Amino acid sequence: MSIAWGSLGLVAIVSFAAAVVVTALVSFGIVGLAARSPRPDGPEPALSPAAGTAVGATCLVVAALIVLYGLYIIVA
Q: What is the pLDDT of residues 5-23, one digit of tens each?
A: 999 999 999 999 999 999 9
Helix intervals (H) in the chain: 5-34, 49-75
Nearest to 29 by CA among 49, 57, 48: 57
**Domain ranges for the chain:** 24-75
The pLDDT value given to residue 51:
87
User: What's the chain's average pLDDT?
Assistant: 90
Provide the percentage of residues in the chain whose pLDDT is more than 70: 93
User: Which of 72, 22, 20, 29 is CA-nearest to residue 53?
Assistant: 29
Rounded mean pLDDT of 35-43?
73
Residue 35, burial from CB neighbour count under 10 angstroms (0-12, 13-18, 19+): buried
Query: What's the predicted TM-score (pTM) here?
Result: 0.79
